[in-house]
């Protein structure tokens, strides 16, 4: 049986600027691919699972057109990868680098099993612009603060990437090594705000490009819809962060580029300090009534409630509202960040463990990222949604209120009908 190269697609569900795929093609052996999947009904984050499945289905079709099979597996990945590699007579298994503690532990188990069978297990950076150890301090240690990391990142970017063109889709020669190509599994339909896949990712970027000039001015006004909404595509790996960084830099979009720098920072931070993820304590004491009202958008503070209801419906929030909701939970309500982080992780279609944990620990004041000061919820609402458009869009019971009332309807409750909207859950 002929040797093959097995590609394990994880969070790099694309063909263009895919380092794993490029290295696999360069081996010159027949290719096979693998994707681990689960049904949304079996997932803690059904929306994200469905989104990734859409992306993998598109990838499967593109690979099949070249005669490359994409095998879908379920269950224990640490067993499935070595089993499939052995069955297909793989010479090596190639995958994108992992960053979370759970993935790293799983990779170590897979490496030991494959090594015992004489199969190489190699990983390449496909999730970030710079790999986990590319940006280090002068003492060879990872950065714990964002500002010096950003300066080092920009210096490395100027030296290594500016002027370089991200690699195109590799030329995958048509192969006939596999007589039968496996069908890609179908799942139950899901209502998604965005369509998964590489084509949709680039379409989303092209739609956003005309707004890059006004992004610094409008990004903190959620009603303006001035953000890229590329997080889900980056999370699934439908689009290359290297390619996006090059595109943004070429257009002088330095404010937007900072989002990619911060994403890199959080990824390297979690890899080098995995104890940050282990701080998720399910038994951390919290007020269950507070959590229920906050999660369901019933706090009595209109902007916070509009944000939380929008998150539940869409699986996405503009960064400024994620920050406001997290600060309300951690600072205003004085509740443990772990429960808020877990709720977001279960509802965000663009969830990435490192980014979510980093954002939440920043909101809780545990990670030095020079976070913006904490605003009173009503002040924040007046600043980010001055005319109440976002609030009206997601709190229909308050849609009739004028802008001088909608941010604090309790102050005029004797003069307006708030249709059952609750009073503030706390006095601040």
Domain span at residue 387 reads 288-411
> Do residue 73 and residue 97 come from a single domain?
yes
Are 115 and 135 part of one and the same domain? no
pLDDT band of 163, cuts 50, 70, 90:
low
Is 99 inside any structural domain?
A: yes
Name the domain count of the chain: 3
Helices 319-327 and 377-384: angle between axes, nearest 10 degrees: 170
DSSP-derived secondary structure letter, 348: -
Regarding whether 114 and 9 lie in a shared domain, the answer is: yes
Within this chain, do residues 344 and 403 fall inside the same structural domain, yes or no? yes
Same domain, 97 and 136: no
295 and 254, same structural domain? no
Bind-site residues for FAD: 215, 256
Looking at the domain assignment, is residue 176 inside a domain?
A: no
Q: Which of 98-107, 192-201, 357-366, 371-380 has the lowest mean pLDDT?
A: 371-380
DSSP secondary structure letter of residue 428:
-
Look up the CATH number of the domain holding residue 217: 1.25.40.80
Q: Supply the pTM of this predicted model.
A: 0.94
Q: What is the mean pLDDT of residues 33-45?
A: 93
Contacts of residue 200, Cβ cutoff 8 Å, sequence gap at least 6: 194, 233, 238
Q: CA angle, 29 as apex, 56 and 173 as ends, to 5°? A: 65
Q: In this structure, are 223 and 146 located in the same domain?
A: yes
Residues 89 and 132 in one domain: no
**Which of 57, 92, 124 is the C-terminal boundary of a domain?**
124
Q: pLDDT tens for residues 58-105? A: 999 999 999 999 999 999 999 999 999 999 999 999 999 999 999 999
156 class by beta-carbon count within 10 Å (0-12 exposed, 13-18 middle, 19+ buried): middle
Residue 37 pLDDT exceeds 60: yes
In a domain, 181, yes or no: no
- Across the range 22-47, mean pLDDT stands at 94
The pLDDT mean for the chain works out to 92
Name the DSSP letter for residue 397: G
Q: Are residues 331 and 384 in the same domain?
A: yes
Res. 368: pLDDT tops 70 = no
Residue 150 has pLDDT above 90, yes or no: yes
> What pLDDT is recorded for position 364?
87
Residue pLDDT, tens place only, 213-272: 999 999 999 999 999 999 999 999 999 999 999 999 999 999 999 999 999 999 999 999
Binding-site positions = 215, 256
CATH label of the domain that carries residue 111: 3.40.50.620
Are 75 and 156 in a shared domain?
no
One domain, residues 346 and 379: yes
258 and 307 share one domain = no
């Amino acid at each position: 049986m002929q040797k093959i190269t097995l590609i394990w697609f994880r969070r790099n569900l694309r063909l263009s600027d895919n380092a794993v795929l490029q290295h696999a093609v360069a081996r010159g052996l027949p290719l096979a691919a693998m994707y681990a999947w689960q049904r949304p009904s079996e997932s803690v984050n059904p929306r994200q699972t469905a989104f990734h499945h859409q992306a993998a289905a598109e990838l499967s079709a593109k690979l099949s057109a070249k005669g490359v099979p994409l095998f879908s597996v379920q269950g224990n990945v640490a067993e499935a990868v070595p089993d499939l590699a052995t069955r297909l007579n793989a010479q090596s298994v190639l995958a994108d680098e992992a960053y979370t503690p759970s993935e790293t532990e799983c990779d170590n188990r897979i490496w030991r099993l494959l090594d015992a069978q004489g199969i190489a297990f190699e990983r390449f950076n496909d999730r970030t612009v710079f790999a986990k150890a590319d940006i280090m301090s002068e003492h060879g240690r990872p950065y714990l603060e964002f500002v010096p990391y950003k300066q080092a990142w920009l210096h490395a970017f100027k030296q290594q990437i500016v002027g370089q063109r991200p690699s195109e889709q590799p030329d995958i020669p048509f192969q006939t090594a596999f007589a039968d190509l496996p069908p890609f599994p179908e799942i139950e339909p899901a209502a998604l705000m965005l369509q998964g896949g590489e084509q949709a990712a680039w379409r989303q970027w092209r739609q956003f490009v005309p707004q890059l000039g006004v992004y610094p001015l409008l990004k903190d006004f959620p009603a303006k819809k001035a953000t890229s909404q590329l997080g889900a595509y980056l999370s699934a790996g439908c689009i290359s962060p290297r390619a996006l960084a090059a595109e943004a830099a070429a257009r002088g979009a330095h404010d937007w580029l900072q989002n990619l720098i911060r994403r890199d920072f959080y990824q390297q931070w979690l890899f080098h300090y995995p104890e940050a993820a282990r701080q998720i304590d399910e038994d951390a004491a919290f007020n269950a009534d507070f959590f229920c009202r906050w999660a369901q958008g019933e706090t009595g503070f209109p902007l916070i409630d509009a944000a939380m209801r929008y998150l539940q419906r869409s699986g996405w929030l503009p960064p400024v509202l994620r920050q406001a909701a997290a600060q309300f939970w951690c600072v205003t309500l004085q509740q443990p960040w772990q429960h808020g982080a877990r709720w977001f992780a279960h509802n965000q279609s663009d969830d990435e463990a490192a980014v979510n944990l980093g954002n939440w620990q920043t909101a809780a004041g545990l990670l030095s990222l020079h976070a913006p000061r904490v605003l009173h919820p009503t002040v924040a609402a007046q600043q980010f949604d001055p005319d109440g458009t976002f609030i009206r869009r997601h709190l229909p019971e308050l849609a009739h209120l004028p802008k001088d009332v909608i941010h604090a309807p309790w102050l005029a409750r004797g003069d307006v009908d708030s249709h059952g909207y609750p009073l503030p859950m706390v006095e601040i």
